[in-house]
A = this chain, B = another copy of it.
Amino acid sequence: MNEDDVSFERKRPDVYGDAHPKALLRTIEEDGDFLLKLADQHIVSADQFNVETMRQLFRLAAKIESNPKRFSTPLKGKILISAFYEPSTRTRLSFESAWHRLGGDIMSITDRSTTGIAKGECLADVAEMFNNYGDCVVLRDTNAGSLFEMMDALRIPIINAGNGIDEHPTQALADMYAIFKWKPELLAEDNDVKVKIGIVGVPGKMRTVRSFLKCLAIFPQAVEELVIIHDETVTDELFADGQREELEAVGIKLSTETVMDDVLPSLDVVYINAISWEGDSFNTYGKEFHLTAKSPLKESAIILHPLARGEELSVDLDPTSHNWYFSQARGAVFLRMALLTCMVERAERVIDVV
């Protein structure tokens, strides 16, 4: 094996470049008060934030992404309890990377079967244990209610990193952060630009889509139209109770579509989800909703995907300018850095003017 076979380049593709976060950063004026308030909140749902808190979070994320080396110590001496009772390497490493980059220490739980919970210990007791051992908890659990059982007993903040089919709020924040980096004017005070967004998936059943829709409802002025692209077989259970009503109440124009290629040419943002887990309906889904470089996408359109992907998203899109899903994954680390810093009472270390 010679040197050429093992050499690699550290260069970044353009889409990851510095230009985008810096443009977003310039668009928003700092107001640290909204960040300081995050020290008293658990992160449970995508709709717990108001517009200004979100804008400030995106600003802080963009500030960190523009110059990560400046933010290597804000969490010094802080301990994260990374509790992934439902296995997930991707989300776990994203949070842990964010925490480590900020200078904090981590204790991981990666297997429910090794914990007291498996032996029937009540979650309030587990929460009490966490109070004593750490400064913040990140929790993923297949049981949607575990989060709420723990919350009441906690005196340190907890982040919902996916609770069953309910929500995954920081994923949705990362989704929005990608959109606003791509088009910062959507967040400007005097914005009159709007985008048409298509979501391939089942809002009633997918936690990432559920949280994403809640985030969109906070920025209705940025949405020209929202199209849910779904298979005919799930029409009846497409939305969960109240989900559609919430979006319409804030004035978002909502439509549904079963033929993806009919609507693709008009979309600015395509949000597509892993659909392989849908069991029996996989083949149908796979055939109908398969995005490739040959799909009739608008030239300027971007694709988002929470990853890991299945067959629904072809790798031939990776080298195209539609690929914002890698940027979305990368940005998630900076978004989480911003959020975590605020949650453990260290916002004053990263705010410009206190």
Contacts and interface: CB of A to CB of B under 8 A. Distances in A.
Interface of A: 1-3, 5-12, 40-45, 47-48, 69, 72, 77, 79, 81, 87-90, 93-94, 96-97, 100-101, 103, 105-111, 113-116, 119-122, 124-125, 128-129, 131-134, 151, 154-157, 276, 307-310, 315, 326, 329-330, 333
Contact of A42 (B8, B119, B122, B315): B8
Nearest to A326: B128
A70 to B, nearest CB: 11
Contacts of A108: 108
Given A87-B113, A107-B93, A155 B10 contact: yes
Given A40-B7, A48-B1, A315-B122, A114 B87 contact: yes
Contacts of A11: 155
Nearest to A108: B108
Copies of this protein in the complex: 3
B107 A79 contact: no
Given A10-B155, A132-B326, 11 more contacts: A1-B44, A6-B48, A7-B41, A10-B156, A89-B109, A89-B116, A106-B107, A119-B308, A120-B310, A125-B309, A128-B329
* Residues of A contacting B: mostly: mixed
A128 B103 CA distance: 23
Given A1-B47, A45-B1, A128-B329, A114 B107 contact: no
Contacts of A116: 89-90, 308
Contacts of A93: 81, 107, 109, 129, 133-134
A328 to B, nearest CB: 10
A51 to B, nearest CB: 14
Contacts of A103: 77
